[in-house]
DNA sequence: CGCGCACTTGAGTTCGTTCAATCGGGGTGG
DNA sequence: CCACCCCGATTGAACGAACTCAAGTGCGCG
C-alpha cells in the first residue's frame, strides 16, 4: 500500500537550500502577506523540495494524506477515477498553486496529481502547518482563502460543464489560462498549452476531436493562432465575450 | 447594495433559546467532536437563528460576506449566475451542512442560496469564528475537513457532469441523496425530493424533459416508485451499480 | 368550475460523438 | 541520410443521445 506504484520511478528527492522569501511565487502562494519573521517560521516546516519529471505522479488516490504541495514551477493535472475506469480531469495547476486540499477530509487523497512537464513542488507537512496556524493568524487566513478559491474555481467548472456549449467552454478555458498567466507576469495573449488536446477535452467534457475542431474554427475566424501547443490570442476581446456568453461563433466559417 | 433585494420580504429574525448541544445535527455540523466547554464557546458566538420560507433567499451573489450558515432544518439550493443570465445550480444542501464557504476568498458571496422549503439556519459570524479557531484547535480541524469535503463533493459533480451519460448522472444523484438521508437517520430508500424536476435537471446538466423521462424509465424498470416528489428506491443495488458505472439501462423497456 | 403550474409524453432536430482515414513531426534503426 | 514507425492531431461522414418544440395530463387552489 505504501511502496512506489506500478513502475513509476521513485520521485527524485533533492535537498535544495531555498526559501519562500526567495521564491518568485511567494506573492501568490501560501506565504502571501506574511512578514519576514513569519515567513521564516513557515520556511522551517517546509519538508523538502521535490522534482518531478513529465508524467511523474505526485500522489495517487487512496494514498494517506500527509502533505500539501505548493508548486514552485511547472504544471500539473489532477484527475479523479471512476469505479468503472472513467477518468475526469478536475483541474490544471500552475506555479504558486496548492495541491492536495481535497485530501484533508478523509485523510486520503481523493485524486491523482501528475506533472505535465518537469516541475518542482514544496512539500508542506500538513500537521506542522496546522501547528503553525495557531501562531500565525495571517497564514491561517490566507489558507482559508486558498481553500475557498478552490471551491469557487470548481463551481465555475461546474457552470461550464453543466451550462455551456462546447465553444463557450473552450473560450472560458482559454481566457482562464490567459488570466492566470497574466497574474504571474507572463503574456496573457501568448502561451504554451502544457496539456494534450485529449486532456483539454476530458477536462471540458468533450472529445479530442471536438477540441481539434474548435481550435480550427477559432483559427479560421482569425481569433487565435495555434502552432502545436503554442497559442496566440489574436482577438482576446471576442474570446472574452464568448466566455461571458455575450457572443457566439457561427457554426462554421 | 445592502438593502433587501427585489421584493423578497426581509427574512424573519427570531431569537430562539437553543444551543448546539441541543441540536440534533451537532454530530454532523461544525461542532462535531467538541467537548461541552468548547461547545459552549461556539454557542456564544452564534449570532442568531434565522427562519426562511420556501423560495426565500439567504444570500445573493455579490453581497458582502460576514457569516457562514449552518442548516438546522430544511433544504437549500445554491446556484451561480452567468454574465449572460445562464444559471447553474451548484448544490443542494440539507440539515447539518454549511453554507457560504465559497465566499471566504473575495469577501463576497459567489453564489445565491435559496430555501427549498421552510428552513432554519444558524448564523455564524466568520470573524468571530476565526477568533475561536486560535483557541479551539478541534474546531479548526473540523472546519478544514468541512471545506475539504466541499471540494471533493464538487469534484464528484464535475466527474458526473463531464463523464457520465444522463442515466448514470441521475443514478448518482439519487444514491447521493439516499446516503445523506441515511447519515441523518432517515430512510435511505424512501424520501421526498425537495427540489423541482427543473432544479434537478439544471444541477445535472440536463433538461427537465430528460429528468422526467429518466424517472419514467426507472419506474418502468421497477427500480423505483415515484409519486409527485416522493421517491421510493425499490432496487437500490442496481441504482448503485448504475451510479458506479457497472450497470446500464436499456434505452427503453 | 376553471385557471395555473409542474410535470409527462411525443416527434423532429441538433450538437457533439463515434468511427475511420489521413496528416505530420520526431525519433529510431538500417 | 533516408525509410519507417509511432503518436498526437486533424478532418470527414454518419450516428445517436439529449435537446427543442409542442401538445397533453393532472393536481392544487381560488
Model pLDDT for residues A131-159, shown as the tens digit of each residue: 999 999 999 999 999 999 999 999 999 99
CATH number at residue A181: 1.10.10.10
Could you tell me where the DSSP H helices lie in A78-229?
A: 126-135, 137-163, 166-183, 197-204, 208-220
* Domain end point (choices A139, A159, A179): A159
A111 in reach of chain B (CB within 8 A)? yes
| pLDDT of B251 | 53
Do A67 and A177 fall into the same domain? no
* Chain A residue with the nearest C-alpha to that of B248: A84
Do A144 and A173 fall into the same domain? no
Do B52 and B107 fall into the same domain? yes
* Domain end point (choices B112, B128, B159): B159
* Chain B residue with the nearest C-alpha to that of A134: B134
Question: In this complex, do B86 and A159 lie within 8 Å of one another by their Cβ atoms?
Answer: yes
Do A107 and A226 fall into the same domain? no
Q: Which nucleotides of D are covered by protein (CB under 7 A)?
A: 8-13, 17-22, 27
Residue B76: phi and psi, rounded to 5, are -130, 160
Give the separation between CA A115 and CA A119, rounded to whole angstroms.
Answer: 7
Is A162 or A5 the better-scoring residue by pLDDT? A162
> For residues B231, B236, B238 and B244, what is the CA-based torsion angle, rounded to 10 degrees?
100
Q: Is residue A213 part of a domain?
A: yes
Q: Is residue B252 part of a domain?
A: no
Q: How far is A147 from chain B (nearest CA, A)?
A: 7
Asked if A73 contacts A120 with a C-beta cutoff of 8 angstroms, the reply is yes
Q: How far is B116 from chain A (nearest CA, A)?
A: 20
Give the separation between CA B247 and CA B168, rounded to whole angstroms.
Answer: 9
For residue B135, pLDDT over 80 is answered with yes
Do B64 and B186 fall into the same domain? no
Give the separation between CA B52 and CA B120, rounded to whole angstroms.
Answer: 6
Do B108 and B201 fall into the same domain? no
Q: Any residues with CB less than 8 A from the CB of A96 and at least 6 apart, and which?
A: A25, A28, A29, A70, A71, A184
Show which of residues 153-172 on chain A sit within 8 Å of chain B, judged by CB atoms: 154-159, 161-164
Q: Is residue A76 part of a domain?
A: yes
B145 in reach of chain A (CB within 8 A)? yes
For residue A90, pLDDT over 90 is answered with yes
| pLDDT of B168 | 97
Confidence of residue A82 (pLDDT cuts 50, 70, 90): confident
Which string of b and e fits A101-111 if b means at least 16 CB within 10 Å?
bbbbbeeebbb
Q: Is residue B253 part of a domain?
A: no
* Domain end point (choices B139, B159, B179): B159
User: Greatest CA separation found in chain B?
Assistant: 60
Confidence of residue B17 (pLDDT cuts 50, 70, 90): low
Straight-line distance from CA A234 to C1' C19, in Å?
Answer: 34
Asked if B136 contacts B44 with a C-beta cutoff of 8 angstroms, the reply is no
Q: Is residue A132 part of a domain?
A: yes
Q: Is residue A184 part of a domain?
A: yes
Do B188 and B149 fall into the same domain? no
Question: In this complex, do A163 and B87 lie within 8 Å of one another by their Cβ atoms?
Answer: yes
For residue A8, pLDDT over 70 is answered with no
Do A66 and A186 fall into the same domain? no
What is the mean predicted confidence (pLDDT) over B105-131? 95
Q: Report, in angstroms and rounded to the nearest whole number, the Rg of chain A calculated over CA atoms.
A: 19
| pLDDT of A178 | 98
Q: Is residue A181 part of a domain?
A: yes
Do A121 and A201 fall into the same domain? no
Could you tell me where the DSSP H helices lie in chain B?
A: 36-45, 126-135, 137-163, 166-183, 197-204, 208-220, 236-244
Give the separation between CA A92 and CA A117, rounded to whole angstroms.
Answer: 12
Total domains present in chain B: 2
Kindly list the protein residues whose beta carbon lies within 7 Å of any strand C atom.
Answer: A 165-167, 201, 205-207, 209-210, 213, 251; B 196-198, 208-209, 211-213, 215-216, 226, 228-229
Do A84 and A21 fall into the same domain? yes
Average pLDDT of every residue of chain A: 90
Confidence of residue A250 (pLDDT cuts 50, 70, 90): low
B248 in reach of chain A (CB within 8 A)? no
For residue A5, pLDDT over 50 is answered with no
Is B5 or B200 the better-scoring residue by pLDDT? B200
Nearest to B101 among A134, A141, A151 (CB): A151
For residue A252, pLDDT over 60 is answered with no
Do A141 and A188 fall into the same domain? no
Do A35 and A137 fall into the same domain? yes
Q: Is residue B211 part of a domain?
A: yes
Confidence of residue A95 (pLDDT cuts 50, 70, 90): very high
CATH number at residue A142: 2.60.120.10
What is the mean predicted confidence (pLDDT) over B107-119? 96
Range of the domain at A21: 13-159
pLDDT digits (tens, 9 = 90+) for A190-242: 999 999 999 999 999 999 999 999 999 999 999 999 999 999 999 999 999 99
Confidence of residue B249 (pLDDT cuts 50, 70, 90): confident
Pick among A106, A112, A127, A158 to test the B interface (most B CBs inside 10 A): A158
Amino acid at each position: 500500500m505504501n511502496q512506489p506504484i506500478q513502475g513509476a520511478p521513485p520521485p527524485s528527492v533533492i535537498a535544495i537550500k531555498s526559501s519562500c522569501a526567495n521564491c518568485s511565487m511567494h506573492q501568490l502562494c501560501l506565504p502571501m502577506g506574511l512578514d519576514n519573521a513569519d515567513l521564516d517560521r513557515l520556511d522551517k516546516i517546509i519538508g523538502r523540495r521535490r522534482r518531478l519529471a513529465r508524467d511523474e505522479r505526485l500522489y495517487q488516490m487512496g494514498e494517506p494524506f500527509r502533505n500539501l504541495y505548493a508548486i514552485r514551477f511547472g504544471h500539473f493535472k489532477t484527475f479523479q477515477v471512476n469505479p468503472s475506469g472513467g477518468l475526469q480531469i478536475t483541474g490544471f495547476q500552475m506555479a504558486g498553486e496548492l495541491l492536495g486540499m481535497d485530501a484533508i477530509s478523509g485523510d486520503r487523497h481523493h485524486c491523482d496529481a501528475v506533472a505535465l512537464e518537469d516541475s518542482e513542488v514544496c512539500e508542506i507537512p500538513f500537521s506542522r502547518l496546522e501547528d503553525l496556524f495557531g501562531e500565525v493568524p495571517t497564514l491561517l487566513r490566507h489558507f482559508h482563502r486558498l481553500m475557498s478559491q478552490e471551491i469557487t474555481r470548481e463551481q465555475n467548472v461546474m457552470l461550464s460543464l453543466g451550462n455551456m456549449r462546447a465553444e463557450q467552454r473552450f473560450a472560458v478555458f482559454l481566457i482562464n489560462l490567459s488570466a492566470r498567466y497574466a497574474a504571474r507576469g507572463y503574456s496573457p495573449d501568448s502561451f504554451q498549452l502544457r496539456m494534450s488536446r485529449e486532456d483539454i477535452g476530458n477536462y471540458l467534457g468533450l472529445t479530442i476531436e471536438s477540441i481539434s475542431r474548435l481550435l480550427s474554427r477559432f483559427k479560421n475566424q482569425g481569433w487565435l493562432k495555434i502552432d502545436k501547443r503554442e497559442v496566440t490570442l489574436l482577438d482576446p476581446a471576442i474570446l472574452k465575450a464568448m466566455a461571458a456568453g455575450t457572443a457566439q461563433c457561427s457554426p462554421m466559417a
